[in-house]
Amino acid sequence: MNFDLQYMLEISLQIAKYIPITLVLAIVSMVLAIIIGLVVALIRNSNIFGITHVAALYISLFRGMPTLVQLFIIYYGLPQLFPSLTTMDAIMAAIIGFSLKESSYLAEIFRAGLNSVDKGQMEAGLATGMKRVQIYSRIILPQAALNALPATGNTFISLIKETSLAFTLGITELFAEGKMIASANMRFFETYLVVGLIYWLLVILYSWIQKYLEIWLSKPLRR
């Protein structure tokens, strides 16, 4: 069989050098997506007339378009409208695209998380004379975070894998590097297998971190 294990081991290190860029794409996008998602979820949950509809539209729009199309709109499309964006860094474009996309998923997850917190928690806070903002940040969000963690984690796992789309903007990350090495050596199976396994490893590593995060967050709620 035409399979070269030795070759796989050799290129592994070479490809692994691009783990940081993949992680930067995933983590920075995730952090931004969490911030945007939370704001959108809070707006969506507020009953300020009109603006909740804008939030709903935002969620619907970004969830409804393929990630790849969004990346192209931002990187190749926007500079046509705003010439000053021609100098936009591809990494920046990718991060913007990913964070907008993921934020639309997270907004819905966070909204469900917020709504799953017992209404009595807000009432108890108000009745003891606390302000809404204080109750949200100190009582409701920590409880909502636990409820939202599993789904948020799944979103992050998808995002780690989706960062491979960044190669279409000319960014050299894990997948792009694998593609180049594969063509250069004409060994496609081994190379892409290595790339796939590295993604898998990253996902396992994250799942492990999430498990401990969950244990830590749920400490108050265990009997």
Partner 1 sequence: MINVRNLTKHFDKKQVLNDINLDIKTGEVVAIIGPSGSGKSTLLRCLNLLEKPNSGTIEINDVKLDTQKYKARDAYQLRQQTAMVFQHYNLFKNKTALKNVIEALLVSKKMKKEEAIQIGEDLLKRVGLEKQAKQYPATLSGGQQQRVSIARALAVKPHAILFDEPTSALDPELVNEVLQVIRELAKEDTTMVIVTHEMQFAKEVADHVIFMADGHIIEQGTPEQVIDHSLNPRTQRFLRQMGDESDVAAR
Nearest residue (CB) to partner 1, 127 versus 186: 127
Instruction: By CB under 8 A, tell whether 116 contacts partner 1.
Output: no
Of the residues 37, 97, 113, 125, which one makes contact with partner 1 according to CB under 8 A: 125
Contact criterion met (CB below 8 Å) for 93 and 169: yes
Nearest residue (CB) to partner 1, 50 versus 129: 129
Q: Rounded CA gap, 128 and 143, in Å?
A: 19
The three-point CA angle 16-66-54 to 5° equals 120
Instruction: By CB under 8 A, tell whether 115 contacts partner 1.
Output: no
Of the residues 51, 61, 69, 126, which one makes contact with partner 1 according to CB under 8 A: 126
Q: Which of 92, 93, 97, 99 is nearest to 30 (CA)?
A: 99
Per CB under 8 A, contacts with partner 1 among 132-151 are 134, 138-139, 142-143
**Total number of residues that touch partner 1 (CB under 8 A):** 22
**Helices 90-115 and 51-64, interaxial angle, to 10°?**
120
Residue type for position 149: L
Nearest residue (CB) to partner 1, 63 versus 138: 138
Q: Which span sits near partner 1 by CB under 8 A: 40-48, 117-125, 171-179, 182-190?
A: 117-125
Nearest residue (CB) to partner 1, 60 versus 137: 137
Smallest distance from the beta carbon of 111 to partner 1, in angstroms? 19
Of the residues 121, 158, 172, 185, which one makes contact with partner 1 according to CB under 8 A: 121
Q: Which of 154, 167, 158, 168 is nearest to 210 (CA)?
A: 154
Radius of gyration of the chain (CA): 21
Q: Rounded CA gap, 59 and 56, in Å?
A: 5
Of the residues 89, 118, 170, 184, which one makes contact with partner 1 according to CB under 8 A: 118
List Cβ neighbours of 3 (8 Å cut-off, separation of 6 or more).
Answer: 189, 190
Distances (CA, A) of 94 to 36, 72, 168: 16, 9, 10
Instruction: By CB under 8 A, tell whether 131 contacts partner 1.
Output: yes
Instruction: By CB under 8 A, tell whether 216 contacts partner 1.
Output: no
Q: Which residues here bind partner 1, judged by CB under 8 A?
A: 118, 120-121, 123-131, 134, 138-139, 142-143, 219-223
